[in-house]
A = this chain, B = another copy of it.
Amino acid sequence: MKKLIGNAVVGQSGGPTAAINATLAGVIRGVKENVGDGAIKTLYGMKNGVEGLLQERLVDLTAFFDSEEKIEALEHTPAAALGSCRKKLPKLHEDDAFYEKLLAIFKKYDIRYFFYIGGNDSMDTVAKLSAYTKEQDYDMCIMGVPKTIDNDLVVTDHTPGFGSAAKYIAVTLQEIIRDCAVYTIPAVTIVEIMGRDAGWLTAAAGISRVINGIAPDLIYLPERHFNKEEFFEDVRVALKKHPNVVIAVSEGIRFADGTYVCEGFGVASTDAFGHKQLSGTGKALEYAVKAEIGCKVRSIELNLPQRCASHIASATDLAESVCVGRAAVKAASEGVTRQMMTIVRDSTEPYVYHVEHSDVSKIANQIKAVPAEFINDRGNNVTDECARYLLPLIVGEAMPKYRNGIPEYLIIE
């Protein structure tokens, strides 16, 4: 493709992460550093992803980011600074008016570069836009830039955002394990971790085992069927070893018949308003262990902080996120289009990676599960191989700046 001269637009989509703004900062840095020798003139940010783009809610990021200080603050700001959306684009030819409207906006603002930072659904958006602009013969570089704490995108070794969430989980579990160790009476603590379809985040709970030997006693991922009887047996065996058993479970674990554990155990729960309410997976297992084993049981749902705790972000993750954003600008300015940026791992010890890109249409709408060799035979823990593979991604502490005890974030008005 010929070298395109024009403006660029960047958006963020899907669930927030602690690193999605670092990727945005990478795109801004790429444009500011003029990596394409003048190819990109103005970089617009779309507010709330394609939803805002359709309403022409655009902000001139080239003008807004007029200092290194602002870009650095952005790198340490959690959640999507441009706002996000969960809009799924219509299939091609299902709603021509929709795509025509987008194309008109691209032409109006002379937009020749489109960067979309997101996960699986966002790559679907990138793939559809790629197909449409190609069909319309509108010259445009359309690039997907991966981010998801779930780490479930295929082709890329891992996804920006995952390392910071994994670090939050690993550090928080170290603290919870110490907290649970102070009493002598038998107690079970169940920690519920995000990840409906893939167990990567829950697996991160096991990384510390190859560092200091301290990790949850049991870890259950959605990649393996959850067996109630085996689980109770596992808990009983663990309680014989020491009184304070800590268990990490993925929110997405299911029984062999496909029922989610949170449904299977908690389905009869009705609130004061008469509505059926699903308790979480951790809560369901808490009730089950109380009923079956009878010891003290507590459940903890790590919840939103997993994806937004930028105060304990992984320095490795933030650096990679910036790098991937910048590389997307560089590739696009060289004419690359319809691709998602990928991280390629060259070596684990020492950890070495480089950035490439790959056909986005072959990435969207697929899910990368934790491979079989990363889970032990019993299906109640991760292997050392898994822990060693994940370890480099949580290394380094990326502290935000603090003022009066709280972090300073960058807010794009």
Contact = CB atoms under 8 A, between A and B. Distances in A.
Interface of A: 12, 16, 48, 51, 77-80, 83-86, 167, 170-172, 174-176, 178-184, 189, 207-208, 211-212, 264-275, 277, 279, 284, 287-288, 290-291, 298, 300-301, 303-305, 307-312, 314, 391, 394-397, 399, 402-409
A301 B309 CA distance: 15
A305 B176 contact: yes
B309 A175 contact: yes
A404 B211 contact: yes
A287 B305 contact: no
Contact of A85 (B184, B391, B408): B184
Contacts of A267: 272
Contacts of A273: 287-288, 291
Nearest to A309: B175
B212 A304 contact: no
A287 B291 contact: no
Contacts of A310: 175
A272 B300 contact: no
Given A305-B176, A405-B167, A16 B182 contact: yes
B265 A268 contact: no
Contact of A272 (B269, B271, B308, B394): B269
B268 A175 contact: no
A310 B311 CA distance: 12
A266 B270 contact: no
Contact of A83 (B167, B181, B308, B394): B181
Contacts of A80: 182
Contacts of A208: 406
A84 B309 CA distance: 29
Given A269-B277, A287-B272, A179 B78 contact: yes
26 contacts: A16-B182, A48-B183, A78-B179, A79-B179, A79-B181, A83-B183, A85-B183, A171-B311, A171-B406, A171-B407, A172-B305, A174-B406, A175-B304, A175-B308, A175-B310, A176-B304, A178-B308, A178-B409, A211-B404, A269-B271, A270-B270, A271-B284, A275-B287, A277-B287, A396-B405, A399-B399
A267 B272 CA distance: 6
A77 B304 CA distance: 25
A83 B185 CA distance: 12
A48 B176 contact: no
Q: Report which residue of A83, A86, A407 has the largest number of chain B beta carbons within 10 angstroms of its beta carbon.
A: A407
Nearest to A20: B182
A267 to B, nearest CB: 6
Contact of A182 (B84, B171, B314): B84
A77 B271 contact: no
Given A175-B304, A211-B403, A268-B271, 18 more contacts: A16-B179, A48-B184, A84-B183, A85-B184, A170-B405, A175-B310, A178-B409, A189-B304, A208-B406, A266-B271, A267-B272, A268-B272, A270-B270, A271-B284, A300-B301, A300-B304, A300-B305, A305-B305
